[in-house]
Structure 1
Amino acid sequence: MKIHFYLRFHTSFGEQLQITGNLKSLGAAMGQPLPMNYLNDEFWQVSIDVDPAEEPVCRYQYQLVSADGTVVSEWENDRVIQLQDGAVEELQVVDTWNHSGEFENAFYTAPFRELLPVARGSKKLKIPKNHSHIFRVKAPLLSKNEVVCMAGSIPALGEWDEDKTVLLQPDGNWWAAVLDLPKEGFPLSYKYGVYDTHKKTFREFESGANRSLFGDALHHKHTIVHDGFVHLPNNTFKGAGVAIPVFSLRSKKSFGVGEFTDIELLVDWARSVDMQLIQLLPINDTTATHTWTDSYPYAAISAFALHPIYVNLEKVAGKRHTALIKSLKKKQKQLNELAEVDYEEVMKFKLAVLKEIYMADKEEWLKDKEYAEFFQQNRHWLVPYAAFCFLRDKHETSDFTQWKQHSVYDAAAIEKFVSPRLKHHDQLRFHYYIQFQLHKQLKAAASYAHKRGIVLKGDIPIGIYRYSCDAWMAPQLYYMDRQAGAPPDGFAVKGQNWGFPTYNWQKMEEDGYLWWKQRFSQMKEYFDAFRIDHILGFFRIWSIPWKAVEGIMGHFVPAIPVHVNEFYERGIWYDYNRYTRPYITEKILFETFSEHAQYVRDTFFETTGFGQFNFHETFSTQRKIEAWFAKQEASEANAIICQGLYDLHANVILFEEEGSKGLQFHFRFGMENTSSYQALEAATKKGLYDLYVNYFYHRQDDSWKEEALRKLPALKASTEMLICGEDLGMVPHCVPDVMKQLGILSLEIQRMPKNPAQEFFHPDDAPYLSVVTPSTHDMSTIRGWWEEDRDKTQRFFNNELGQWGEAPEYCEAWINKAIVIQHLYSPAMWSIFQLQDLLGMDDQLRRKEHIDERINIPSVAKHYWRYRMHMTLEELAKEKTFNHDLREYIRAGGRA
């Protein structure tokens, strides 16, 4: 049999199309896609020979190779052809490229299988013996009792008579029509439409021009047409959701912190107000120090293990061990009444009780078939994680480089270390036990949500903790001598240093991003959608050398550096030492340290002559300064001096590219604000600034786009979850285009417009494939923001809310409500709100002080994450007036 593939696709010069699939003739045997041939402006084509007796099923997909060699696959992964042995001599396949950015593709992701009637997994299409053509098309936006129909220019298609349309049948993800068309009717024109099977009436044709098909119906030759999507208006789905960390939930039965079991109460409330989604922060184990600093949810010691703090003790104990938790009722009540989470106290009591239950339960638990299955499915991370936790506690540090035993991970050695014959095996198995209990409770909560039509959306941090099980197991996947962070912005003027090692993407690519795919697979156990924290890190990461403390000392990686020749070519005065070393003068020392200037000069610096100074070698990096001050007495003066010395280390214009031998450089972000730059003469300053703008805003875009397109398509293709990207901060020009190409939802925030010419972003301007929200966990709530900048608030009040006169000093409930309603009316697919912003609409329900509503302050490196709801979920469920009003707002915005 010969198969002729025709793909409708208009390419630009230098682009190439190829096809890949399971057949040997499609390159499966060699692992190489088959190149296609340019036919004309409308089609690319390739023909293959195949023996149906050997290969009865053809699965295939198209790929675009750009001029720079980047390969982008189409979204489609369900093109399947059943090859009938001997029945057909030639098969003609006419396909439409499925662009990943088509909004309809979102409706084939996990969240929509239950929420919308997407045609999936239906009866197998019956194909009669006598036919010439099979038409397939997708239509995920149909309502109940609606099916796809088609009409066209020939009698077999009703000659455009709406009463004689051909009804299509479900065929997996497709709708299909099997027809026997005479050759006299070609070329034919046709259109798809919608038919109401309940009323038995034609409803509407799709929009756009007529479709056409050239060719004929020859004997022993069949044609299959994949026509993409029916062109229907997108007026079917807009959803609303609530965002809250699990630890912030409060219920009558929890133990001083939100627990997985509390999610069910949140589901009930969300459903009662017609919401469809609950968004959570990361829920992985962060237990590195056994102190409150572990409250930071983005520093997990395992990308797979769940946090023990979220376990419900009563569920673990069951009826058999209720006696073990009865004595805790007083402590439970005490912790539950606290305004905020007492992280250390909760963890201390929970772990102690878990150990008691484990010791009483371990013999029965080991016989549990569900546990055996869980263990086998998760062994690849569970066993090393348990060993890591044991060694962390034994050595009293998660910094595995300081361990006397197993500081370097060896899989064979760890396999022996976890042997049941060894004395410490019970302690290892305790961690298996906790993870199994957490898995069961979260799985139950997810199942509860799904049965009630509620989507659960998780959160994948961009980084891993430096002293984590992941870094211990595979340090080669990370650059351990670097730190990830973010450049300075309005929220953190010194930049952010998250302390995470950066990814070695080249190494990760070698096994097809296996670690990431395993991570997605495990997440799919519980979630239908997820937010990629700092998706910009897939384009480039802000990388800070280990010797630095502040984020301002970093630069983007990858980045095309400035070559020394560029200074000469642009006529810019160049001096290596002047640009790359901290610029320190008598005047700067006095301005920075005032009355401490003499002491600072004598202690930390050496003179170079001409009134300038260098740091002593003992203090030649920020990290050395940090270590020195850690041994000094804590005082206000020392804090001021330490920060001043950090600032002087950052008073540079260029950072040298490692290994470039003084030939290549990266500009320090915000160079124009340094006293080093300000001290230069005007012509040099202008030349440097022009080159700086070129470096940050022009030259990197293409390389960053290539970088993202090497990683994101492969990762996106590995999961059916709906992917949302947190694309905030200094966003390169290429980011929106890549996210749109891949169908990844963007994040749109009113106070953080992506257009630098705008002061505010209006929710009405959001693209459909996006999430709109007035605030995130890293920001102040609506109420808090209202009081941060009086002038900005006034402009927002007049221009965005359309109000006259002077803005209220405080964010009154009606203002909060107006902002929420703006977001509900947005065209975005999802409108998601922090619970605090929803409660802010009600004078009686909102918290007294808005400062107590904030979850995180990014500029505070050691922030204590401890926010809790100020009312229980049970109490919230009883607020009939508030819940009724919120439900009506959601319905009015078309989100019910």
Structure 2
Amino acid sequence: MNLIFSIDYKTVFGEELVLNIMKDGAIAQYHLGTTDGARWTCQLTIPDTNQVLEYYYSVDAIGSEHRHEWATVHHKLELNASKGNSYTMYDHWSDIPEDAYLYSSAFTDCLCPHTLHALPSSSFSKTVRLIVRAPQLRSSERLAIIGSNPALGAWDSTKAVEMTEHNINEWVVDLNADDFPEGEMEFKFAALDSKKDVTPLWECSNNRTIELPEMKDGEVVVYDLNEAYMPIYNTKIAGTLVPVFSLRSKTSFGVGDFGDLKKMIDYIDKTGQRVLQILPINDSTITHTWTDSYPYSCISVFALHPMYVDLTQLPQLKDAKERDRFEKLRVELNGLKQIDYERVNNAKLEYLHLLFTQEGKQMMSSKKFHEFFHETEQWLVPYAQYATLRDKYGTADFSQWPDHNTWNEADRKELSNSRSKLYKEVEFWYFVQYILNTQLDEAHAYARQHHVILKGDIPIGVNRYGCDVWMEPRYFNLNGQAGAPPDDFSVNGQNWGFPTYNWDEMVKDGCQWWVRRFQNMAKFFDAYRIDHVLGFFRIWEIPINSVHGLLGQFAPALGMTADEIRGYGLNFQEERFTTPFITDWTLERMFHDKADDVKAKYLDRLDDERYKMKPEYDTQRKVEKAFATVTDQDELNIRDGLYAMISDVLFVRDTKDASKFHPRVSAQFSFIYESLYDNDKGAFNRLYNDYFYRRNNQFWYREAMKKLPRLVEATRMLVCAEDLGMVPDCVPWVINELRILSLEIQSMPKDPHVRFGHLSRNPYRSVCTFSTHDMPTLRQWWDENYERTQDYYNSMLYRGGAAPHPLPGWLARDIVSRQLTSPSMLCILSIQDWLAIDDKLRLPDANAERINIPANPKHYWRYRMHLNIEDLMANNSFMANVKELVNQSGRTNTFGER
């Protein structure tokens, strides 16, 4: 069979087009030729067999790939030897479309499910095949072609030729070329509704025309056409954010679980919402104490947390006494206002051990378990050994283990052999992960059945003592700490303690660690939030001896030489500007009547003007250790003052090049800045703004484009970014280029010229919300700053008079309604903010609703809904209220029907 591929693409000198045909997991590459640098062709001969080809085009420059087509949906070509012996494809280059979200599984598998079909067989002697994408169609609609020729219905829609959806949002039809003796086709595409007798939707464009070439018997000519555009309004949907651990039902075991997730999906469905967003659910067990409650510090990006197991879905314990004991404990723990993390996890692990002894052998001999093991073996085996060794040696710090300080690939064979001793040592964790994966997979399937998008969360970091670092340490830098510079969440910056990524090593293999991670997520979710997407541009890297984040620097970043700094008009004094600025006047300002005590105990005189920290206190970690057992608040205030003094520098030295420097973030609030002359302050401010907002823009853009395109294309999940903080200009460039949804929060506007965001200006490709899990809830925010609230009440809500306090339910409803009516594709509100609209239903104490306080790195994550999901759904007034808000905002999705 002869194949001819033809595509128009304008290249520059040194570039050439490559055809990439995928088969059995491999890619065969064929170089195209051109005579004018614009039209490229390639001819192949393959055996005359029936098969389906999937392929894409790429551009090579100097022997390596420079760019490629959008990889989410490839070209698809069905070959049939009975139709012809020669195929000529007239393709067009496919960049990521503006409506790429319509190709996500969130739309194609949840909101607007379509069933793909094989192209019907035909036996024309000469065949014209038309392929076109029409992603706007709803579930009940099918694409048809209508044209001037009688073979195309002569513009009569009742005689239109129906097409076949053979690929995601892509339709195809084979036509008899002999039906077009004049050699020309004039036509349009239209959407027909299979469920309703309604007028077809015709595409909004001029008539399409194709001049057919002269064809011989046995020839098939394939035209890949531009997208059909239908006049269909954009879909807008509403949703709820709630951590799984915060769910409460009548059958919970003191914490939300994957069974409760199904009940919450029912709530979402019954209120007309279509998205349920959760926080990370990966295993975070380091110490088996409450400090492991931080869900963004996972020990494995693949393993699920054992506390989310729904025990009611498992076989009962045969021991009646044990059953009764666990039921009494369940009732007790489920009655608590907040999660008792340690008791819940200890109880669930004990239960799972008993169940493993009772049922493990039978469950792990099943076909489903063997399929699970085969699919997950790459990460499951190391994780099980890691978890076993962690508990055996009483610490997750693998550097302290007497052996197995890193994963040994040679152990895999024995650990995978069910008859080996090593397998017996770790198989409990295979059993636990099998149960968890099965239950989450069922919850995901349940969500799809109810047209609900389950949205997950991908943390930016991993625990430095976790399985991922233990298994593949080459991907991580352990000599620094990841965090975030100061923002609305924390004036001292955030220090997450995570290792930073060795991106040079990750990029070498095409970011396979991340690709595997995203593809594993796609088994359970149809949308996801990229936590701290700025980390893919540059991460805030904090020295290992720092507690706060003020002494960090962006990595990578273009540091400044001393001469560059002087070029801004600032007389650079290296020693003065890079060591803590401690003087008598700064000590008086910081410690008041305690200043002399601080001098005597913690400082040495440096010169006539300044002091330096004593060696035993010269880093924040040393100070932290010295005050580890202190509880007196006055002493803790001294500790915090010492932290601040150590951070009081104007520049930090580059970690890789000692001759370069970075301006210290928020240095304008430091004493060293205050000590400068006004002209030096002006010079520093110019330098500061250039460095943080202009100098690195192109550099950070290129860094992000090395990574994010691979990850966005790795799955068909809908991609949403958490793009808050110190956002450089290049971030929206990448977000828009990759068609990622941004996060829009009215109280944290991205426009520096306004105090509150104007909801009407939200881009369609965005997620609108009022508060995240890191922020005060709506009710808390309302009472935090009365002056700010008054401004919001008058300027954003357009109401006169004094703003009422606390926030009444009727006013919370108005605020929620305004969020819902924004142009954003998704409006996802926290469960606390939804409950705020009902004075009778919401929690009396607004402060008890807070999930996380980012300024506190040791915050206990234990918030739970104060009422059962069953009782919430039984409250007809509240359910009707939410449903009315969703309906009035136009966010009711009827699964693609019109």
TM-score normalised to structure 2 length: 0.92
Please report how far the alpha carbon of residue 250 of structure 1 lies from its aligned counterpart in structure 2 after TM superposition. Answer: 0.9
**2:124 is the counterpart of 1:129:** yes
Q: Which residue of 1 aligns with 2:4?
A: 3
Residues 381 and 168 from structure 1, CA distance in 2 versus in 1: closer, same or farther, beyond 3 angstroms?
closer
8 Å CA contact 1:70, 1:710 repeated in 2: no
* 2:604 match: 606
Seen in structure 2, the aligned counterparts of structure 1 residues 794 and 368 have a Cα distance that, compared at 3 Å, is same
Query: 1:337 aligns to what?
Result: 335
Q: How does 1:794-873 map to 2 (within 5 A)?
A: 794-873=790-869
Cα pair distance change 1:18/1:705, threshold 3 Å:
farther
Query: What is aligned with 1:560?
Result: 558
How far residue 879 of structure 1 moved from its aligned partner, in angstroms, is 0.4
Q: What is the match of residue 102 of structure 2? A: 107
The answer for the alignment partner of 2:366 in structure 1 is: 368
Find out whether 1:642 has 2:643 as its counterpart.
no
Which of 759, 775, 787 is matched with 1:791 structurally? Answer: 787
Match of 2:521 in 1: 523
Provide the residue aligned with 1:541 in structure 2. 539
Q: What residue number does 1:62 align with?
A: 57
Query: 2:43 maps to which residue?
Result: 49
State how far apart, in whole Å, the 2-side matches of 1:472 and 1:50 are: 47
In structure 1, how many angstroms separate the alpha carbons of the residues matched to 2:212 and 2:440? 55
Question: 1:141-180 maps to which residues of 2 (within 5 A)?
Answer: 141-143=136-138, 145-151=140-146, 165-173=160-168, 174-180=170-176
Residue 644 (structure 2) pairs with residue 656 (structure 1): no
CA contact (8 A) 1:101 1:741 kept: no
Instruction: Write out per-residue CA displacement over residues 73-116 of structure 1, whole angstroms, 9 at most, x where no aligned residue.
Output: 3245331224566987875533344332422x322222223444
After TM superposition, the structure 1 = structure 2 runs for residues 17-96 of structure 1, keeping only pairs within 5 Å, are: 18-22=17-21, 29=28, 34=31, 44-53=38-47, 58-63=53-58, 71=67, 73-75=69-71, 77-83=73-79, 92-96=88-92
Which residue of structure 2 lines up, in the alignment, with residue 408 of structure 1?
406
Taking a change above 3 Å as real, the CA distance of residues 613 and 869 of structure 1, as seen in their structure-2 partners, is same
Partner in structure 2 of residue 720 of structure 1:
716
2:486 to 485, 488, 506: 488
Letter in 2 for 1:660: D
Q: What is the distance in 2 between the residues matched to 1:247 and 1:153? A: 61
Answer yes or no: is the 8 Å Cα contact 1:418–1:428 preserved in 2.
Answer: no
Compare 488-497 and 768-777 and name the one that shifted more: 768-777
Give per-residue Cα distances to partners, 1:242-292, cap 9 Å, x unaligned.
Answer: 111111111111111111111122122222112222111111111111111
Map Cα deviations across residues 391-428 of structure 1 (whole Å, 9 max, x no partner): 21222211111112222332225765787678786552
Contact 2:142/2:163, CA 8 A, preserved across alignment:
yes
Partner of 1:265: 263
- Native 8 Å contact 1:117 1:140 kept in 2: no
Q: How far apart are the structure 2 equivalents of 1:552 and 1:711? A: 27
Conservation of the 8 A alpha-carbon contact between 2:316 and 2:323: no
Q: Judge conservation of contact 2:145–2:152 (CA < 8 Å) in 1.
A: yes
Unaligned runs of 5+ in 1: none
Describe the SS at the equivalent of 1:553: coil
Deviates more, 1:60-69 or 1:831-840: 60-69
Asked if the contact 2:113–2:139 (Cα under 8 Å) also holds between the matched residues in 1, the reply is no
1-structure distance, mates of 2:811, 2:68: 45
Unmatched 5+ stretches in structure 2: 893-898
With 852-861 and 638-647 compared, the bigger mean Cα shift is at 638-647
Query: 2-side partners of 1:218 and 1:417: how far apart?
Result: 62
The equivalent of 1:759 in structure 2 is 755
Give the distance between the partners of 1:299 and 1:36, measured in 2 at CA. 51
1:746 counterpart = 2:742 = yes
Amino acid at match of 1:224: V
Corresponding residue to 1:892 among 880, 888, 891: 888
Contact 1:260 1:312 in 2 (8 A): yes
1:775 aligned residue (768, 771, 778): 771
Q: Could you tell me how far 1:165 is from its partner in structure 2?
A: 4.9
Measured after TM superposition, the shift of residue 23 of structure 1 is: 7.8
- Whether 1:445 aligns to 2:435 is no
Shift of 1:577: 0.9
1:88 to 1:250, Cα distance in 2 relative to 1, 3 A: closer
Residue 705 (1) aligns with residue 701 (2): yes
Q: 1:50 to 1:510 in 2, by over 3 A?
A: same
Displacement after TM superposition at 1:297 (Å): 0.6
Q: Is the 8 A contact 1:52 1:83 kept in 2?
A: no
Give the aligned partner of residue 503 of structure 2.
505
* Aligned ranges 1:99-248 → 2 under 5 Å: 99-103=95-99, 105-117=100-112, 119-143=114-138, 145-151=140-146, 165-173=160-168, 174-180=170-176, 190-196=187-193, 203-213=200-210, 216-219=213-216, 222-235=220-233, 237-248=235-246
Bigger shift: 608-617 or 698-707?
A: 608-617
**For residues 197 and 268 of structure 1, do their structure 2 counterparts lie closer, same or farther at Cα, with a shift above 3 Å needed?**
closer
- CA distance in structure 1 between the aligned counterparts of 2:171 and 2:828, rounded to whole angstroms: 33
CA distance in 2: counterparts of 1:890 and 1:387, whole angstroms: 48
Percent pairwise identity: 36
How many pairs does the alignment contain? Answer: 884
Question: 1:374 and 1:2, CA in 2 relative to 1: closer, same or farther beyond 3 A?
Answer: closer
Q: In structure 1, how many angstroms separate the alpha carbons of the residues matched to 2:193 and 2:348?
A: 57
Contact kept? 1:286, 1:302, Cα under 8 Å: yes
Q: Give the whole-Å Cα distance in 2 for the aligned partners of 1:362 and 1:585.
A: 67
In 2, Cα distance between the equivalents of 1:426 and 1:375? 15
Structure 1 range deviating more: 788-797 or 235-244 = 235-244
**2:433, 2:472 → 1: CA distance?**
22
- CA separation of 1:317/1:176 partners in 2, compared to 1, >3 Å: closer, same or farther? closer
Q: Say whether the 8 Å CA contact 2:300–2:468 is kept in structure 1.
A: yes
Post-superposition shift, 1:296? 0.6
**TM-score for both structures, normalised by structure 1:** 0.92
Q: More displaced, 361-370 or 298-307?
A: 361-370
What residue is the counterpart of 1:302 in the other structure?
300
In structure 1, what is the Cα distance between the partners aligned to 2:680 and 2:354? 71
Residues 14/52 of structure 1: CA separation in 2 closer, same or farther (3 Å cut): closer
Corresponding residue of 2:472: 474
Inter-CA distance 818–446: structure 2 relative to 1 (3 Å threshold): same
- Give 2:495's aligned amino acid: N
Q: Separation in 2 of the partners of 1:517 and 1:670? A: 36
* In 2: Cα distance, 1:894 partner to 1:884 partner: 16
